[in-house]
Structure 1
Amino acid sequence: MIYRGSREDFGLHVRFFCGKEKGLDSLVNEIVRDFGLNAVKRFEVGNGIVVIVSESHVYCRRVDGLFRVDIYTCSRDFDEEVVQNGFSELDRKGYSIFNQEMFRRKKPDKEVGVAARISEDDYFAADLNLKSDFGKRFYNYFLGFGTKGFEEFAYEFKRGVPDSATRVFYSRKGIVVLHPWPEYSFASVDVEGRWLIAEINRRFNLMPREKVKYSV
């Protein structure tokens, strides 16, 4: 298990590969149950499933004959002990779990605006301070994907609170999951897809991609 970050950082993000001939839908159900996640909605997108959970999402998809899983949530109940217990349950059920990685997302201040993490496997994760001009511009860029030929799915968490919906944008170019916390002036965005990440780098002049890199 590779672990980065501390409890003083933002939400906890878990990444791993999983192998077992039981099907994607069954795996998603097991993950939601074994990691104690409060699932409220699921969407089938491309070769995977996005599950909207309290405080963010789970994304499971097929990659080279395996299942690639990302879990990200800011729930205080989702901590390192819960993750280890979840892995133990999956292992007990016969799932092969490997390449586990767990890290705390960075919570940017107003001066920084955006804390981005770019992985070498074409996965981009960022947390945004919406009180920052840069963070707000970043957020609005992704919010506009619904008018750029992407299929859009949405789940409204807090009725009556503007812009509180978690949105999933999907096309053959990749996938975007955008989750705002309007009452706290923060948002998170997760992106998978080489073309999309290259476009983000060009538009916002982020640092070159490395295996693990935080940049602003």
Structure 2
Amino acid sequence: MLNLSDIRKSYWQGPEEVEILKGINLSISKGEYVSIMGPSGSGKSTLMNIIGCLDKPSKGIYRLNDRNVGEMKDYQLADLRNETIGFVFQNFNLMPKLSALQNVELPLIYSKVDRATRREKALEALKKVGLEDRVSFKPSELSGGQKQRVAVARALVTNADFLLADEPTGALDTQNSEQIMELFSELNNEGKTIIIITHEQEVADYTKRKIILRDGFITKDEVEEKVYA
């Protein structure tokens, strides 16, 4: 599904060029459940931005569904993100004045899906995450765990090729964190590809493949087969 070949990313800090990613080689296939871990400064956020087509590498080739991301224009990247990637963020990124249903519908509005189809798909996505009884609630009326479930539903509604979750439990308590990770495990068991960026070992332990970054390099890439009932 996605392949990164000798990916390097540098930024200028004044007169000095600082290399954040130093030759990342990584392939992720359809149906995988992957965590990318690393301490602060390891490059995991930079790698997430490249995987999510939010940034381009300085060097190397990133191919997503056989398309060279580095050669794409900004409007093409925007379309690719909306069609291919379902984002889940630490702080939910919900629109405060919209209901749960309307928040989930947003990606479909950008894709110019008709109103009736939007509503049907959004209701289906909210049902999948167990929030069919909260469709009219606004974010201020939802718990942290419920907000993140809305965010997951929004990521699912376009039938994206994979979910990319950035510290998805960072704003949640232990119980809600476990529920969200169990939801991700259920979705993966149904065939959804999931990539999670995290610094928490407890979160990574839910995934079937763990990738460790340190100082811009992948230092460990291990697979552990897990089956969740």
User: Quick check: TM above 0.5?
Assistant: no
Q: Which has the higher relative contact order, 1 or 2, with Cα contacts under 8 A spaced 6 or more apart?
A: 2
**Normalised TM-score (structure 1):** 0.31
**Bigger Rg over Cα:** 2
**Normalised TM-score (structure 2):** 0.30
More helix as a share of residues: 2
More strand as a share of residues: 1
